[in-house]
Every structure is written in C-alpha cells, then in structure tokens.
Amino acid sequence: MTSRVLITGSADGLGLAAASRLLDDGHDVTLHARNQTRAEDIRRAEPRAKQIVVGDFSSIAETRSVAAQANDLGRYDAVIHNAGIGYTRARRTETADGLEQHFQVNVLAPYLLTTLIERPSRLVWLSSGMHQGGRGDLGDPQWESRRWSGSGAYSDTKLLDLVLAFGFARRWPQVLSNGVDPGWVATRMGGAGAPGDLAQGAETQAWLAVSDDPAATVTGGYFYHRRQQRPSPVTQDVAFQDALFDYCESVIPS
C-alpha cells in the first residue's frame, strides 16, 4: 500500500536518505527545504521527488507557510520531523522572532507544523541519544540565564522532541507518534568522522512511517535501529508534557 509521507529537512543527510528509501518502495514523498537554493539541491539529488515545500524553520511565519503548502498538497499519512540544527554554535543566537535558534528550529517548528497541518496517521520525531543529557525542566529552555553550551542546547531540544512525541501519542491516541535515535552518522550535522552508517540511520524512521509490522504500529515508543529503547524518564512525565505544550503555545504569536 502506498503512503503519502512528508519529511522535513530533507535536502541532504538522514532526511534525503529516508526519502530515497521510501521512494524506492513506491511511496509518495514530499520533501522540504529551508530555501529555494536547497530545493534545487533536492531536485538534483532526488529527481523522483515531485513535491517540495519550502520554508525556514527559524521563522514562525515561514513555518506557517510550510504548513499551508503541505495542506494544499493534501493530507499525509505520515510526517517525519527530521529538520534540525546541531551543536556547533559557539554562542547563543536569537532568531528574528526573538527565540533561541535551537529551540525554535528543533522544538517549536515541529510542534507548530504538527498543530497546523491536517492530522496524519503517524508522526516520527528525530531525537538523539544525547537527549539523556538534556535538562528535564522548563526553567530556562532558551538559555537566557545559563552559560551557553551548544551541545547542552542541542541535548535539551532532543529531549524536548521526545516529550512532544510522547505528548502527542497521549493526546492523540488515534495517531502513532514515536521518537527515533538515528545514531551518530556521517551527515553535515554529524560530521565526516561519524562511525554510523547513513542508510541504517535512516531506516527506522522510514519503517515507522509506513510499515504494517506490529513492531512499527505502536505509539509512544523510542527506537534505535528498529528496537525500542528506554528514554529519559522525564520525557514520559505527563505534567512535563503538558507544560511544554503550554510553553510552546505561549511563545507563538496569535
């Protein structure tokens, strides 16, 4: 059975690898690029992709535009939230919306996109084993008071991505919502020296997006190479999930 899948951040790396895998299997895949230049990169790298949505997730307005473009193309069976920025930033950076960049791109954008698009049947959230080092509270989610750490900010957002995955699994029981650790693979984010295999790193999210395997048709799970793992316990704290949802809503202009 053919599925319609939207993959964010799919101009290269894990997103493009997952798209190619799904296209190989005959699925209808919409890719996403942050600007037109990156969209042209997609067209050259994966000419089978007929549909590309464009918008920069460091902008709330452009994230809304991505959602509108996706809705114009029709409902998706699955969304893979792959887009994100890594941990090499030497200093705290604010977006034009006045939000810390890691938080806006890695957490707020997928949250907003999820709430604005027609509800899919499956959500797949890219996290990381580094989420285990993330801060499990919302005392300073945008690093306004803490001494800056790029790796710390990244770890925080990957933890919060799992909180969103499990929060949507609880709030939307008809939707399969799961998190994935793709491993440390050689991408622009992971670096050329990463030991993991790119194809294997993209396999689990593609599998969760379309497979009818009983192991894939679950919700509220955290996977590494198709096997469920134990996430940080705080990600499954219902009060923390609700607090993050409320916080995201509080920083989105009405």
Average pLDDT score, the chain: 94
Active site residues: 154, 158
What is d(CA 196, CA 183) in angstroms, rounded to the nearest whole number? 6
Does 2 have pLDDT greater than 80?
yes
Instruction: Give the C-alpha distances (Å, rounded to integers) separating 39 from 43, 46, 55, 85, 238.
Output: 6, 10, 10, 18, 38
Instruction: Please name every residue paired with 29 in a beta bridge, in sequence order, or none if there are none.
Output: 5
Residues 13-51 have pLDDT tens digits of: 999 999 999 999 999 999 999 999 999 999 999 999 989
254 — pLDDT class (breaks 50, 70, 90): confident
Query: What pLDDT, on the 0 to 100 scale, is given for residue 182?
Result: 94
pLDDT of residue 172: 98
Domain count, the chain: 1
Percentage, residues of the chain above pLDDT 70 = 94
Residue 189 has pLDDT above 80, yes or no: no
What CATH number is given to the structural domain containing 51? 3.40.50.720
* 51-54: strand order across its sheet: 51-54, 28-33, 4-7, 78-81, 122-126, 176-180, 222-224, 227-228
Rounded to an integer, what distance in angstroms lies between the CA atom of residue 194 and that of residue 208? 24
Q: Which domain holds residue 222?
A: 4-251
What pLDDT does residue 203 have? Answer: 96
Taking residues 52-62, report their average pLDDT: 98
What pLDDT, in 10s, does the model give residues 72-121? 999 999 999 999 998 877 899 999 999 999 999 999 999 999 999 999 99
Question: Where does the pLDDT of residue 185 fall: very low under 50, low under 70, confident under 90, or very high at 90 and above?
Answer: low
* Whether pLDDT at 195 is above 90: no
Give me the DSSP letters along 167-206: HHHHH-TTSEEEEE---SBSSTTT-TT--B-HHHHHHHHH
Task: Give the per-residue pLDDT at 136.
Answer: 94
